[in-house]
Amino acid sequence: MIPELGYAATVAALALALFGCIAAAVGASTERHALVVSSERAAIGVWLLVTACMLLLVYAFLTFDFSVRYVASNTNRGTPFYYRITALWGSLEGSIILWTWMLSLYTLIVVGQYRRRQPKFYPWVLAVMLAVAGFFLLVMTIPAPPFDRLTPVPADGRGLNPLLEDSGMITHPVALYLGFTGFTVPFAFAMAALIIGRTGDEWITITRRWTIVAWYFLSLGLLIGGWWSYHVLGWGGYWAWDPVENAAFMPWLTGTAFLHSVMIQERRHMLKLWNLTLIILTFGLTLFGTFLTRSGIIGSVHAFTQGSVGQFFLGFLALGMLGAFSLLAWRLDRLRAHSELDSVLSRESAFLLNNLFLVAAAFTVFFGTVFPLISEAVKGVKVSVGAPFFNLVNIPIFLSLLFLMGIGPAIAWRRASAENLKRNFLMPVAAGVVAAAVLRLLGVANTVVLVCLALVVFVTGTIVLDFYRASRARRRTGDSWLEATWGLLHRQNRRYGGFVIHLGILVIAVGVAGSQAWSVQTETSLERGQSMELAGYHIRFDGLEPSDESNHFKVTGAFTVSNGRRASAMLYPAKKFYPQEQTPIAAVDYRLGLIEDLYLVLGDFAQDGSHATIKVQVNRMVSWLWIGGLILTLGAALAILPEWKKPA
Amino acid sequence: MSARGLRWIIPLAVVPVLILLGYAFKLNPREVPSPLIGKPATKFSLKTFDGNQISLEGLRGKVVLVNFWASWCYPACYEEAPALERGWQAFKDRGLVVIGINIQDKDEPARKFLTEFGHSFPNAPDPAGRVSVDYGVYGVPETFFIDRAGNVRYKHVGAVTDAIFKEQAERLLGERS
């Protein structure tokens, strides 16, 4: 019964979305308001029906309804309660439901916010968003039906992919999808702007906050993905340039470019064409990401099962991109800039360079990701493009971006005078140079790390200087330091929110540089009672303990670790054996610290517990990534606060 | 082309990328060329579910199809199961043997699977997982076609279909040993 209800809800939602899309478009072009109203009811209906689908599937999971193929594939009777709920998005079909649900939720918010405020844009925004939702509902109806029946009904299910039994499983996909789907809103406004011919700055002003929200969730999703990879996958890293990581990173890069270039349009009315192109590309790349994960065209740890889903996505991607760029071509005459670049030494050109680098990074990542396809198509040779390529190309780009992060916000608009440059950059540059010299004397020999840290100091210097001057100015009016600081954050929340986000990125940059340069690891086999040493840590192997868990068998190793500075502690890395998996899954144990993490992975062992192989890593500065993520959160929250208005 | 016409180059710029992605459907990233192709197949000797001993060496001179499967592997193992039985029935009199090797599985569901599909060719569990390691099995199902001289000639990843079975069986049976 449940599956039939779910399927019916899906089909009904699809019909409503299509109807709503057409009604909104017809209503807008013929100015029949009643049609727009009924389209908005359709949008509400879509949200209700997709919510119902989600709840029905959760119910099927909780009651172990193995007659539903998706439930049987992603749970078994041993799956813990908590993961039976998150198993909802553990695989292809359910992840599409989650995606559709978020999109329908965003549509609902758009209805609530803009129904009255933006009568011209609103119907077309609704039409575009419902069209996108309609596509995802079509995927749920034909190539990836989550409520598909399974006969004969198996006695037990296969079980969730063990790597997904982790708390990161709740937050990582949710944040990532909120980011991906969030970019649909600015995209829909951009399309509406092109359709109605109001290609000025309105759509950018309206969607500014939406872009920040989507960008923030995407950033958060990427960081949580890194954390998940770090503490679950057991290879000690957080980023591998895996095709699907790249797929999520590309819209982040173009989205970041968009976030910055809209500021030039708002201020100087330039780059209209460029901004539209960026948002179309960003939206296209979110679709491309989903396509890549679900089409099975590229082998990846993240790849979902295959099927005809890929063809549907490619079709929609083609339709969306051709449609959007055709609209752009049609309105090309209206996209001329109202002003021109005055000088190379100006904020505009710093932002333009920033855009150039971000788009170049996105392009290289794209190229590296699809290169295996090109190679096979052209030369028939299977190749894989790995970290060396991506690092080689992207490190100079990211260092340049760090540099521009210091320049952009502090340099004057239009034309920077020598006075402006001296006032804003002399001290920070000096600080960066001094920092580099000191670090070099302290023994930092790696040039990339040295340059990176010097740039971080330089950029931090520009931010501190700006904040110091602004709050000093406020203090002259009689505010205390606290009032002055609060006043700045509060009244110029957009500018200072941006600065806080920059600080978060700087902290992340330190984490990346430090962890790449200074981490050490070793792998060794220990007899019971034997010790080893790495980077000042003594690690003693105390024995193995087997145990039967609800859905797997587990062998846990006990290790006593100590170093001179911290009290000794026990770490318990383990290996988990799931009946449905070929290879055992490592369960890492670690001690996190601000400067370094001690990270143990259990390798092979003797069944009697007499000896075991252990991989020991001392990973430096990795925690800075997670701290940077928290700072990013604060900054984003600050930046989306409503603009402070002076009391009338 | 007029300057106004040139603008349509913008949307057309996405076409090559779309074509590349479309082409990608014809490729299979899991189809990693196996280094075992053309090499002598590693010998194994296993005890079947019926209690008989079966060894690869004893089958020299016949074409052997080794299929790695598991009862929890659906849909692929369930899809190919009838095709394997049909192929075995069609070619067994011409000197072809199908061997099923059940990996990473429990005894009871594995036997239930065999009964359900009425498999009549020899099927054996691989309790220590040695054979699947020797053959570099990455995921189930994977199927290896071994020629009369005992060399691995073809590896198929994913469900075997009647067409693939027939094509490879005819090709290898047609060769002189």
Spell out the SS3 assignment of B5-56. HHCCHHHHCCHHHHHHHHHHCCCCCCCCCCCCCCCECCCCEEECCCCCEEEC
Can you give the residue ranges of every domain in chain A?
1-165, 417-518, 521-621
Distance CA A605, CA A559 (A): 14
Nearest CA in chain A to B106: A579
Q: What is the pLDDT of residue B9?
A: 83
A246 to chain B nearest CA, in Å?
16
For B61, B144, B172, the CA distances from B176, given in Å and listed in that order, are: 9, 19, 9
Mean pLDDT of B60-79: 86
B142 to chain A nearest CA, in Å?
13
Question: Which residue in A91, A101, A369 sits closest to A253, CA to CA?
Answer: A369
A73 contacts in B (CB within 8 Å)? 74
Q: Angle of helix A272-295 relative to helix A168-182, nearest 10 degrees?
A: 140
pLDDT surpasses 70 at A614: yes
Range scoring the smallest mean pLDDT among A440-444, A575-579, B41-45, B122-126: A575-579
Q: Please give the structure tokens belonging to residue A588.
A: 């890492």
Mean pLDDT of A401-406: 94
Mean pLDDT of A595-617: 88
Q: What is the DSSP letter of A167?
A: T
Whether B3 and chain A come into contact, CB under 8 Å, resolves to no
Can you give the residue ranges of every domain in chain B?
35-173
- Residues A216-251 have pLDDT tens digits of 999 999 999 999 889 888 788 899 888 888 999 999
Radius of gyration of chain A (CA): 27
Q: How many CB atoms lie within 10 A of CB A243?
A: 25
Distance CA A484, CA A490 (A): 10
Whether B106 and chain A come into contact, CB under 8 Å, resolves to yes
Q: How many CB atoms lie within 10 A of CB A36?
A: 24
- Residues A81-138 have pLDDT tens digits of 888 888 898 888 888 999 999 999 999 999 999 998 888 999 999 999 999 999 999 9
Q: How many CB atoms lie within 10 A of CB A581?
A: 17
- Residues A72-81 have pLDDT tens digits of 888 888 888 8
Q: Please give the structure tokens belonging to residue A585.
A: 């899954």
- Residues A554-577 have pLDDT tens digits of 999 999 998 877 678 899 999 888
Distance CA B119, CA B63 (A): 19
Distance CA B113, CA B78 (A): 9
The strand pairing partners of A214, in sequence order, are none
For A396, A436, A513, A572, B91, the CA distances from A449, given in Å and listed in that order, are: 12, 10, 6, 33, 65
Range scoring the smallest mean pLDDT among A24-28, A319-323, A631-635, B22-26: B22-26
Whether B37 and chain A come into contact, CB under 8 Å, resolves to no
Closest partner residue to A325 (CB to CB) among B14, B24, B70 is B14
For A457, B28, B62, B97, B147, the CA distances from B174, given in Å and listed in that order, are: 73, 28, 11, 15, 10
Q: What is the pLDDT of residue B24?
A: 76
The strand pairing partners of A462, in sequence order, are none
DSSP letters spanning A107-157:
HHHHHHHHTTT-TTHHHHHHHHHHHHHHHHHHHHHTT--TT-B-SSPPSS-
Q: How many CB atoms lie within 10 A of CB A302?
A: 16
Closest partner residue to A321 (CB to CB) among B8, B14, B70 is B14
Mean pLDDT of B43-60: 91
Using pLDDT thresholds of 50, 70 and 90, give the confidence band for residue A648: very low
Q: Count of CB contacts below 8 A, A vs B?
A: 82
Q: What is the pLDDT of residue B1?
A: 47
Dihedral (CA of B118, B123, B126, B132) sign: negative
Q: Which among B8, B15, B25, B140 is the top mutation candidate for probing chain A, defined by the most A β-carbons within 10 Å of its own β-carbon?
A: B25
Whether B137 and chain A come into contact, CB under 8 Å, resolves to yes
DSSP letters spanning chain B:
--HHHHTTHHHHTTHHHHHHHHHHTT--TT-PPPTTTTSBPPP-EEE-TTS-EEESGGGTTSEEEEEEE-TT-TTHHHHHHHHHHHHHHHHGGGTEEEEEEE-S--HHHHHHHHHHHT--S-EEE-TTSHHHHHTT--SS-EEEEE-TTSBEEEEEES---HHHHHHHHHHHHTS--
Across chain A, mean pLDDT equals 89
- Residues B106-119 have pLDDT tens digits of 888 889 899 989 99
Question: Which residue in A99, A104, A101 sits closest to A126, CA to CA?
Answer: A104
- Residues A361-398 have pLDDT tens digits of 999 999 988 888 887 777 766 666 777 888 888 999 99
For residues A505 and A632, is the Cβ–Cβ distance under 8 A?
yes
- Going through A425-550 in order, the beta strands assigned E by DSSP cover 520-527, 531-534, 537-548
Closest partner residue to B11 (CB to CB) among A329, A373, A582 is A329
Q: Which among A273, A305, A325, A328 is the top mutation candidate for probing chain B, defined by the most B β-carbons within 10 Å of its own β-carbon?
A: A325
- What is the pairing mode between strands A537-548 and B123-125? unpaired
Distance CA A373, CA A365 (A): 14
Q: What is the pLDDT of residue A153?
A: 81
Is the ipTM higher than 0.85? The answer is no
Q: What is the pLDDT of residue A420?
A: 85
Q: Please give the structure tokens belonging to residue B50.
A: 């019926």
B17 contacts in A (CB within 8 Å)? 370
Tell me the helices (H) and strands (E) count for chain A, helix number first.
Answer: 19, 10
Using pLDDT thresholds of 50, 70 and 90, give the confidence band for residue B31: low
Dihedral (CA of A187, A193, A194, A195) sign: positive
Nearest CA in chain A to B108: A155
Closest partner residue to B20 (CB to CB) among A291, A299, A377 is A377
Distance CA A160, CA A93 (A): 14
Q: What is the pLDDT of residue A237?
A: 86
Q: How many CB atoms lie within 10 A of CB A378?
A: 9
A310 to chain B nearest CA, in Å?
8
Q: Please give the structure tokens belonging to residue A8.
A: 């019916």
Closest partner residue to B72 (CB to CB) among A295, A318, A580 is A580
Q: What is the pLDDT of residue B12?
A: 86
A interface with B, Cβ–Cβ < 8 A, is 73, 150, 152, 155, 158-159, 284, 291, 295-299, 310-311, 314, 317-318, 321-322, 325-326, 328-329, 332, 370, 372-374, 376-377, 382, 579-582
For residues A606 and A612, is the Cβ–Cβ distance under 8 A?
yes
Phi (first) and psi of residue B101, to 5 degrees:
-120, 120
Q: What is the pLDDT of residue A152?
A: 77
Q: Class of B35-173 per CATH? A: alpha beta
Q: What is the pLDDT of residue A647?
A: 47
pLDDT surpasses 90 at B22: no
Q: What is the pLDDT of residue A193?
A: 95
Q: Please give the structure tokens belonging to residue B23.
A: 């082409």
Range scoring the smallest mean pLDDT among A177-181, A339-343, B54-58, B95-99: A339-343
User: Residue A392: what residue type?
Assistant: L
A155's CB contacts (< 8 A; 6+ apart) are A66, B109
Q: What is the pLDDT of residue A1?
A: 79
Question: Which residue in B154, B159, B151 sits closest to B170, CA to CA?
Answer: B154
Distance CA A537, CA A591 (A): 12
For residues A106 and A130, is the Cβ–Cβ distance under 8 A?
no
Whether B32 and chain A come into contact, CB under 8 Å, resolves to yes
Distance CA A464, CA A468 (A): 6
Distance CA B82, CA B92 (A): 15
Say yes or no for a CB contact (<8 Å) between B11 and A325: yes
A373 contacts in B (CB within 8 Å)? 20-21, 23-24, 27
- What is the pairing mode between strands B123-125 and B45-47? unpaired
- Residues A185-204 have pLDDT tens digits of 999 999 999 999 998 889 99
Closest partner residue to B25 (CB to CB) among A158, A310, A370 is A310
Query: Is the model more confident about A222 or about A163?
Result: A222
User: Residue A522: what residue type?
Assistant: T
**Residue the block writes with tokens 């029935």:** B89
- Residues B123-141 have pLDDT tens digits of 999 887 788 888 988 777 8
Architecture of the CATH domain A521-621? Sandwich (2.60)
Q: Please give the structure tokens belonging to residue A94.
A: 């359910």
B9 to chain A nearest CA, in Å?
8
For residues A438 and A365, is the Cβ–Cβ distance under 8 A?
no
Distance CA B171, CA B154 (A): 11
Q: Angle of helix A272-295 relative to helix A243-268, nearest 10 degrees?
A: 170
Nearest CA in chain B to A577: B104
For residues A126 and A20, is the Cβ–Cβ distance under 8 A?
yes
CA atoms within 13 A on the CB side of A260: 26
